[in-house]
Chains A and B, each alone.
Chain A
């Protein structure tokens, strides 16, 4: 019975194993090791637990995230009920979240080509800054940014109006890409 490990598998290798990124030989070496090693199997279990935790937190709306359009389709395929609000630059949208919704998506249409870093700013009706998401991930050719706010937080919110702004952050300064108005009403 092995209680500790003289040559533990590096955590990065366990992560690559978990996501199927190792060569077949490397994968078999990892499996041969962790099957006989309590320490490394516990490390792998820890990783699997973190994965379950992240998945669960997102599925129950406890966290927000910028996502991709293909990922949105995956959410639906996994049975999540999603309320999708596409909005064009300068557009206004009335939005809500019902008890039946698992997630709400703000689909911010924009021309992203040429941008290397984008920040997402949220302001109240008076233009006061509420928060700024720095360096959000985006696909320059996608033509949209998909924001999935925490459904749990959204449910607690009273009626309010927010302005979202996409900013391109460039060496010479910032430029506004587009603004959107979300008029939220609890359902």
Chain B
């Protein structure tokens, strides 16, 4: 059976309806677009809450599978609330993951993995050498605060405690350092 295809770009609600209307066929165009649109956000949520790239990738896979399952059966009552629905799913799955649930394996057995061709790209790495030069131009305090903050994703309070700084001062230094790095990388300031 030839699956219908949605013409892109569309809003979330149209995408949701296209996936539901295609059943029992599959609108792979709409599903791929849904994945491209939401997978990076789910991955960021996973990185923030699980602090592990592999766990974030697993979360992404599981949440998107569950979402597709729901959409193919037209069980999302408010199609324009897709983002809220997916966020809710993320929260639930992270809780599940923390409890050691194995729902992902069951879903994978039922629906299989998404094709590699629609895996979202790992966000492109920054130009390593340029970034190193930009980091090198930061003050000592700025560089230390950034390294201690990002190496293991630690809060200003933790970092400040180790460097003899207040958490408020650490936040100020961190913010200034990030602004300078962004400006340096974008070439608007002190670009190497």
A67 near B48: Cβ-Cβ < 8 Å: no
- Interface residues in chain A, defined as those with a beta carbon under 8 Å from any beta carbon in chain B: 1, 11-12, 15-21, 31-32, 34-36, 38, 41, 44-59, 62-71, 74-75, 78, 120, 133-142
Q: Which residue of A lies closest to B129 (CB)?
A: A62
Distance (whole angstroms) from the CB of B67 to the closest CB of chain A: 12
A139 near B154: Cβ-Cβ < 8 Å: no
- Apart from the given pairs A59-B151, A63-B143, A137-B165, 19 other A-B contacts in the complex at a CB distance below 8 Å: A11-B175, A17-B48, A18-B48, A19-B155, A41-B40, A44-B44, A45-B123, A48-B47, A51-B153, A53-B125, A58-B147, A63-B136, A64-B136, A68-B163, A74-B151, A135-B140, A136-B140, A137-B145, A137-B164
Chain B binding surface, main DSSP class: helix
- Interface residues in chain B, defined as those with a beta carbon under 8 Å from any beta carbon in chain A: 9-12, 37-38, 40-41, 44-45, 47-48, 83-84, 86-87, 123-126, 128-129, 131-132, 135-136, 139-141, 143-157, 162-165, 171, 174-175, 178-179, 181-182, 185
| A-B interface pairs (CB < 8 A), number | 155
Q: Which residue of A lies closest to B49 (CB)?
A: A20
A65 near B147: Cβ-Cβ < 8 Å: yes
Give the chain A neighbours of B48 by CB distance below 8 A.
Answer: 17-18, 20
B11 near A1: Cβ-Cβ < 8 Å: yes
Give the chain B neighbours of A46 by CB distance below 8 A.
Answer: 182
Nearest first, the 3 A-B pairs at minimum CB distance are: A68-B162, A36-B83, A139-B164
Q: Which residue of B lies closest to A12 (CB)?
A: B175
- A78 to B46 Cα, complex, angstroms: 20
Q: Supply 22 A–B pairs (Cβ within 8 Å), ascending by A.
A: A11-B175, A15-B174, A19-B149, A32-B83, A32-B84, A38-B37, A44-B44, A49-B123, A51-B153, A53-B128, A54-B147, A54-B151, A57-B128, A57-B132, A63-B143, A64-B136, A64-B143, A67-B147, A71-B148, A134-B139, A135-B139, A137-B140
